[in-house]
Amino acid sequence: MSEPSRDKRLWLVVPAAGRGRRMGAERPKQYLTLAGHPVLVQTLARLHQAFPEARLCLCLDPDDAYFDPAWVPFGEWRRSPGGAERVDSVRQALAALADEAHVDDLVLVHDVARPCVTVADLRRLLANLREDAAGGLLATPAADTMKRDDGHGSVARTESRRGLWHAQTPQGFRYGLLCRALDAARARGLEVTDEASAVEALGLSPRLVPGRRDNIKITHPEDLALAAHILAAQREESPPTQANEESV
């Protein structure tokens, strides 16, 4: 007997199991205070504003001593154990959804360390993904002149920036495709620093959806103050009733 059909669901996978080594803080960067709340809370608030009906899977370090479940604004959510690398955390989250997710459901993967993503960009990405079988990602065209180093701190050559983009998150794909892509990449021993690269390795071309440059990934110590300025500027840019309203 065939399964009764249901509407496609939207799943959010948020890798939040990193240690924040480059940040060098006393706790993982997702728990540092940004505009009065932990980074993780700010990121989940943006996702929830854009997609209140989505189902969340949060990747957390099994030894995480900071997480508070009361911070999660989603009605339907679960946690999954983080892995050694970001890609392992994401794959384990997908495995944790296997009992409920259908192959054609859409999954958006978004770094917890990107709290400045706007609601407008989130919704625009999703609108683009609905029409693209290969999935897609928010990205920005490279704006600086690109140098290749010689391994000793000097310039080996200048690389053309024509056609180069910075990959951001979210990155979104059909559930079945993403599982297949990550498994194939692992089997081939490929280095996978984002979901799109695994899908590309299958010979597909995920869509580049131009996003805002202020969707930064908090990585280094100076990024935290930068993110605070960005959130403040975004609040001024959009009155509270519009798409960037802060809910925290």
Ligand X SMILES: C[C@](O)(CO)[C@H](O)COP(=O)(O)O
Ligand Y SMILES: Nc1ccn([C@@H]2O[C@H](COP(=O)(O)OP(=O)(O)OP(=O)(O)O)[C@@H](O)[C@H]2O)c(=O)n1
Interaction site with ligand Y (CB under 6 A): 15-22, 28-30, 59, 82-86, 89, 111-113, 217, 219
Q: Which does 16 bind (CB under 5 to 8 A by kind): ligand X, ligand Y, none?
A: ligand Y
Q: Using the minimum distance from each CB to ligand X, give the nearer residue, 97 or 196.
A: 196
Q: Which residue has the tokens 């959009």?
A: 238
3-state helix, strand, coil in the chain (%, to 5): 30, 20, 50
Q: How deeply is 197 buried, as exposed, middle or buried, from its count of CB atoms within 10 A (0-12, 13-18, 19+)?
A: middle
Q: How far is the CB of 75 from ligand Y (least distance, A)?
A: 23
Q: How far is the CB of 25 from ligand X (least distance, A)?
A: 16
Q: Which does 229 bind (CB under 5 to 8 A by kind): ligand Y, ligand X, none?
A: none
Q: Please tell me the distance from the alpha carbon of residue 143 to that of residue 179, in angstroms, as a whole number.
A: 33
Q: What is the DSSP letter of 162?
A: T
- Hey, what are 19's tokens? 């240690």
Q: How far is the CB of 194 from ligand X (least distance, A)?
A: 4
- Hey, what are 231's tokens? 């959130």
Q: Using the minimum distance from each CB to ligand X, give the nearer residue, 88 or 111.
A: 111
In the complex, the residues that contact ligand X under the rule CB under 6 A are: 86, 111, 167-169, 193-194, 217
Q: Please tell me the distance from the alpha carbon of residue 123 to that of residue 120, in angstroms, as a whole number.
A: 5
Q: In what order do the strands lie in the sheet with 55-60?
A: 77-81, 55-60, 10-15, 106-109, 165-174, 136-141, 207-210
Q: Using the minimum distance from each CB to ligand X, give the nearer residue, 81 or 245.
A: 81
Q: Using the minimum distance from each CB to ligand X, give the nearer residue, 139 or 177.
A: 139
User: What are the phi and psi torsion angles at 170 (to 5°)?
Assistant: -70, 155
Q: How far is the CB of 111 from ligand X (least distance, A)?
A: 5
Q: Using the minimum distance from each CB to ligand X, give the nearer residue, 79 or 86.
A: 86
DSSP 184-217: HHHHTT---SSHHHHHHTTT---EEEE--TT---
Q: Which does 106 bind (CB under 5 to 8 A by kind): ligand X, ligand Y, none?
A: none
Q: Which does 105 bind (CB under 5 to 8 A by kind): ligand X, ligand Y, none?
A: none
Q: How far is the CB of 172 from ligand X (least distance, A)?
A: 12
Close Cβ partners of 129 (under 8 Å, ≥ 6 residues apart): 106, 108, 135, 136, 172, 173, 207
Q: How far is the CB of 93 from ligand Y (least distance, A)?
A: 9
Q: Which does 194 bind (CB under 5 to 8 A by kind): ligand Y, ligand X, none?
A: ligand X
Q: Using the minimum distance from each CB to ligand X, give the nearer residue, 19 or 147.
A: 19
Q: Which does 21 bind (CB under 5 to 8 A by kind): ligand X, ligand Y, none?
A: ligand Y
